[in-house]
Chain A
């Protein structure tokens, strides 16, 4: 026994071997080089929790690709982080769920690696406007989820549901509305254009935009609250303090199911449809895995599961889905939606923002 301990190996060598061994263990990336993985950014909070619970484990089971989910902030902070990391050749997440304005801003700097439709067998399932393309036709992003902003009312105060966005302009609703406070998240210019000027094309020119602003200024006496914080309006809507306004269709549905006296109505001009896209950072080396994931997400079963469990509207064609009429109505509508003019919020964002602020605060 003593002889064994008296070997010629020096203490230094043993320490060295120990350090080497420990560092091997500390580098799982080297040890698990064959394992496939993918880092996916989704909005932190409700979305990330739902995806972690309902979507990612099933995907790993089906494909063997491990998913590391990253909580991304809403707004444009995540775009800035991805952009700066990509310049340094890094990708904090391979795939990210991005808002439409962030998609367009990323396209301007070629941040998104083009996705290859040939590698996506479910590509044809998608509704056309959920495919984001570069001007030259390359695919920049694929629709992940969609959601609606609709006309909501308190059922105690309004026994009859309103049928049109025109209700916002009705003098009978003086001081009763809650509307979103920013031009880029309320999309009320589009609502005005669709309701009074025949469609969002009316916003093509500056004259059209000014006309929409002037018409929209007429709702000001009806607005009690311009909200940034969703909880503030939701509370007031439930209590009847502010009995009408624009709000998210899915959350309003959940509140109604909990027994609150609220309802969400798709006006005849359509609800406002907003959506998030899957986009691949150009610094990512996981293109194969990313295509597999995007394709997986475009399957009818998965889109149906998202609608049932997360409450989002599907981005693929209605006829492919096995959702019942009620299930579909809970997340979407057959009425043609108002699709925001995202292009304006990149090309004229400062001007629109200035006009908007002057309109509501002036």
Chain B
């Protein structure tokens, strides 16, 4: 197939549909949100169209700074855990028989069919004192008494990693399947142990894929608001939880919109920084 730049206006035709969808389902709602974030909040009613910075000013406080910081930290932790678990797993999976691969992938896909609510409640039962896994440890003689493992940071992290892991594997899988096996064979021939070959050959070869996966999981985890609520203490609530509170329970749309815009901007900045750092590292 020959590729050539579009010559006539009609050559841009195929772009109309995706561009239209993007405008209707992304640009317009996002622009509305930005507009609402500058509206004036009326505590006794709803909001009135205006252009004020009050909503952003309220956000700029130590309290919200901490919440934002925790949300970013949690998302980064989830992304790193997922990638650390998924890269070796997918690498080994890509080297198994086709039938085994299919079985694993189907199992992982089935996790995706679970809603966040079900995942949250399932983990809260598993981590409970009355019916949780610690009862199993007591029966095995590993612990003297059943304890509650939630609410805690560990519980939030576990459930979020559980939720994001299938995506991570599915994103990494194509790249790892296509990875040239002669690369590792060459390393082994030159005397590297399998572990050394994995870290010095496979991981660097997958650099860009891993970086892209990290960013994807990070953004996916940043939007989570149900799991921190079900499995965490209030200090583990993310910014998304507070946005929901403002939008649904306080009917303070302008402030909710301002927080959401801020979250999007910080996310974009972090992603840009990561990509920039990745490029620089590649050039060096």
Contacts and interface: CB of A to CB of B under 8 A. Distances in A.
Contacts of B41: 350
A71 to B, nearest CB: 17
A361 B46 CA distance: 26
Contact of B237 (A225, A232, A361): A361
A361 B254 CA distance: 22
Nearest to A73: B248
Contacts of B235: 361-362
Contacts of A104: 44
B67 interface: yes
Nearest to B229: A228
Interface in B150-193: 151
Contacts of A109: 45
B251 A346 contact: no
Interface string A298-336: 000000000000000000000000000000000000000
Given A241-B129, A358-B63, A83 B251 contact: no
A25 B264 CA distance: 53
B63 A362 contact: yes
B131 interface: yes
A326 B63 CA distance: 49
Contacts of A241: 128-131, 148
A16 interface: no
B67 A75 contact: no
A229 to B, nearest CB: 8
Q: Which among A108, A185, A346, A357 has the highest number of chain B CB atoms within 10 Å?
A: A357
Nearest to A184: B249
B151 A225 contact: yes
Contacts of B44: 104-105, 108, 346-347
Contacts of A348: 43
Interface in B230-270: 230, 233-235, 237, 242, 245, 248-252
A80 B249 contact: no
Contacts of A240: 130
Contacts of A225: 151
B128 A239 contact: yes
A350 B234 contact: no
Contacts of A108: 44-45
Contacts of A353: 245, 250
A224 interface: yes
B228 to A, nearest CB: 11
Contacts of B252: 350
Interface in B212-235: 229-230, 233-235
A362 B124 CA distance: 23
Contacts of A239: 128, 130-131
A105 B251 CA distance: 12
Given A75-B251, A239-B128, A226 B46 contact: no
Interface in A66-101: 75-77, 80, 83
A285 interface: no
Nearest to B46: A80
Interface string A341-362: 0000011111001100110111
B230 A232 contact: yes
Interface in B81-133: 121, 124, 128-131
Contacts of A362: 63, 235
Contacts of A184: 249-250
A318 B124 CA distance: 43
A45 to B, nearest CB: 17
A137 B276 CA distance: 66
A182 interface: yes
B45 A83 contact: yes
B208 to A, nearest CB: 38
Contacts of B129: 241
B250 A349 contact: yes
Contacts of A185: 249
A305 to B, nearest CB: 32
B238 to A, nearest CB: 11
Contacts of B67: 361
Given A353-B245, A361-B63, 16 more contacts: A75-B248, A75-B251, A77-B251, A181-B234, A229-B229, A229-B230, A241-B148, A347-B44, A348-B43, A349-B250, A350-B41, A350-B43, A358-B63, A361-B67, A362-B63, A362-B235
Interface of B: 41, 43-46, 58, 63, 67, 121, 124, 128-131, 148, 151, 229-230, 233-235, 237, 242, 245, 248-252
Interface of A: 75-77, 80, 83, 104-105, 108-109, 181-182, 184-185, 224-226, 228-229, 232, 236, 239-241, 346-350, 353-354, 357-358, 360-362
6 contacts: A75-B249, A75-B251, A104-B44, A225-B151, A241-B148, A350-B43
The 7 A-B pairs of least Cβ separation, nearest first, read A361-B234, A360-B234, A76-B251, A108-B44, A239-B130, A241-B130, A241-B128
